[in-house]
Amino acid sequence: MEMEIELLRLVMDKFPSLSVEQTTDLAGKYLTSLAKMRVDIANGQVASSPVSGVSDNVAPMKLKVNPHNAIQADKIVCCICGGEFKTLTKGHLAEHGLTRDTYLDLCGYAKNTPLMCRDQIAARKASVQESKPWEKTKRWQEKQKKQEKREEAAKAVLASEKKPVEDKGHSTPPSITA
């Protein structure tokens, strides 16, 4: 439902002069076209013209590998040629006359899909967690200094509360013994 609403907004922005009926009709045609493209992608066939980002000079391609099965734990398989890699590089995609974005469009992947196997993704994530590059930023270091100052202030308050209260000359009543 969210995709339909977003598509309707896009059509309204792109064609502001259309009536409400014309806008909904055009959005419906786009949705039908997208549904057909999904079926084509699932079947391994993709026509280049209806897909955004693919130039008209790229011939329609038949995918050798179903995109749903291409990204695996230990390898990523190129949907065009069937080659197996740890990372699908822009150099390899250029051999097919494609850019990263056009490949993602052809295969029906989201724009932020990493073109690498899951093991490689996990290794990169672990490497980043180990090296902690955010700790080298000025912003993070300033935040840490502020946090240390707050902690020191809190410790000072706690230390002052634990000090015994000085006797100001008031005497305490003697305890009653029976």
Tokens of 145: 């200094």
d(CA 51, CA 41): 11
What H or E segment, with its residue span, contains residue 46?
strand 45-46
Quickly count: other Cβ atoms within 10 Å of residue 87's Cβ: 14
d(CA 114, CA 71): 9
Using an 8 Å Cβ cutoff, are 28 and 43 in contact?
A: no
Q: Tally helices (H) and strands (E) across the chain.
A: 7, 4
pLDDT tens across the length of the chain (178 residues): 677 777 777 777 777 777 888 778 877 877 777 777 777 776 666 544 444 444 444 445 678 889 989 999 999 999 999 999 999 999 999 998 899 999 998 888 999 999 999 999 999 999 999 999 999 999 999 999 999 999 999 998 888 887 665 656 555 565 665 5
* pTM, to two decimals: 0.49
